[in-house]
Amino acid sequence: MAGLNEHYLKLTAGYLFPEIGRRVSAYQESNPGADLIRLGIGDVVLPLPDAVREAMHAAIDEMGSAEGFRGYGPEKGYDFLREAIVREEFAPRGVTISAEEIFVSDGSKCDSGNIQEIFSSDATLAVPDPVYPVYVDTNVMAGRSGEADAQGRYAGIEYLPCTAENGFVPSPPDKPVDLVYLCFPNNPTGSVASHELLEQWVAWAGKHGAVLLYDAAYEAFITDDSLPHSIFEIDGAREVAMEFRSFSKSAGFTGTRCAYVVIPNELKGDAGGSRVSVAELWNRRHSTKFNGVSYVVQRGAEAALSVAGRTETRQRVDYYMDNARVIREGLDKVGVTTFGGVNAPYVWARTPGDVSSWDFFDLLLDKANVVGTPGSGFGACGEGYFRLSAFGISDKVVEAVERINTRL
Ligand code: MLT
């Protein structure tokens, strides 16, 4: 009988969002009349921007002609998209990135989950707690942890507590670690990183030879102009960091799939005492295991960065951020303490009356027919919190808040 990767057996639960989906389906089955409002998984609801659809239509027509047809594309992505990313996403913020340093992919979940493969199997890691579960689960699967304790924390992983006291912002650990996952604007707490905080992290990583895996999938939701959108706005970051970006939440690509990772040429890792380019290894991995995002989708992503596309994308971001305001203000009104939701599409709230996160999830589902995400699903420090996503139809978000305020 074939042996299985037993590290998978250390995983304490199914992946968070399918687990929520399973519980919600079971509830819906036994309560067929319940009119559920889903503010759980951060999945967009507004249609693709016109500019994106038009570009995709044109691309599919091109593919229907002998001259315009394309087979396998470049694994790293077409130049037209990587050049548009450099021009529209980084240059306006004074960040110099070359198109060569960009790897287009089918999602930041995949990128942030797969990246650990190119690091040594005994690389140590630190993660914020609470945290996007992909960072932890993929490292557990790869054998970089021991067993989980009663709180679901895996032995061998350094957890950086993010609490109301520290503004849900992790500080560098007081010991060396090889890999650190950071996410700003943060999923799930909605906290943000200042220039000063990122400077601290970059200096710490430089001192310890650590690599910062910086997830900026929600940067489009930053409303405060003083905040950095990219870790590469910080001097020295090119030597210590890579950055994940996505079209999912801003341009509505959760179903369409397009993202990218930026790995600067200066970022090096150790291989038997030699300094080796991280981008080179990722390129090897990417071109071996991935055949690129479809031409049609990349043309759509390029259009999301056009003048028209940016206007439509901005409208979508503003729409979701108004939902976040409605959620924050509605919960504040009934005395629920909230965090986030200002520069991020997630509102992080304390469960009222010391109720546990999963109990509150059940209560919310049963009494208000609203689906949220239990904070403890993101880590031990998330216990006693829940997350509401601002990715909903605005009328439904208003109704959800109304139900929470009147039925709980
Ligand atoms: C979330 O709800 O945390 C996100 O939708 C997860 C994801 O983007 O994979």
Q: Same domain, yes or no, for 166 and 225? A: yes
Instruction: Work out which ligand 1 atom sits closest to the CA atom of 217.
Output: 8
Q: Is residue 336 part of a domain?
A: yes
Q: Is residue 348 part of a domain?
A: yes
CA of 217 to the centre of ligand 1 (A): 10
For each of the chain's 408 residues, which pLDDT tens digit applies?
A: 999 999 999 998 777 888 899 999 999 999 999 999 999 999 999 999 999 999 999 999 999 999 999 999 999 999 999 999 999 999 999 999 999 999 999 999 999 999 999 999 999 999 999 999 999 999 999 999 999 999 999 999 999 999 999 999 999 999 999 999 999 999 999 999 999 999 999 999 999 999 999 999 999 999 999 999 999 999 999 999 999 999 999 999 999 999 999 999 999 999 999 999 999 999 999 999 999 999 999 999 999 999 999 999 999 999 999 999 999 999 999 999 999 999 999 999 999 998 999 999 999 999 999 999 999 999 999 999 999 999 999 999 999 999 999 998
CA of 259 to the centre of ligand 1 (A): 14
Question: What is the enclosing helix (H) or strand (E) of 187?
Answer: none
Query: Which residue's CA is the closest to the ligand 1 atom numbered 5?
Result: 42
Distance CA 376, CA 131 (A): 10
Specify the 3-state DSSP secondary structure of 144. Answer: coil
If one residue of 112, 114, 132 were mutated to test the ligand 1 pocket, choosing by the most ligand atoms within 8 A of its CB, it would be 132
* pTM, two decimal places: 0.97
Q: Same domain, yes or no, for 130 and 211? A: yes
Q: Is residue 262 part of a domain?
A: yes
The answer to whether the beta carbons of residues 223 and 390 sit under 8 Å apart is no
Q: Which two tokens stand for residue 61?
A: 């027509």
Which positions ≥6 away from 152 have C-beta within 8 Å?
12, 13, 376, 379, 380
CA of 81 to the centre of ligand 1 (A): 24
Enumerate residues lining ligand 1, CB below 6 A.
41-43, 109, 187
Q: Is residue 130 part of a domain?
A: yes
CATH assignment of the domain containing 394:
3.90.1150.10
Asked which of 254, 286, 307 is the last residue of a domain, the reply is: 307
Range of the domain at 213: 52-307
Distance CA 95, CA 235 (A): 10
Q: Same domain, yes or no, for 41 and 58? A: no
CA of 262 to the centre of ligand 1 (A): 20
CA of 350 to the centre of ligand 1 (A): 20
Q: Is residue 247 part of a domain?
A: yes
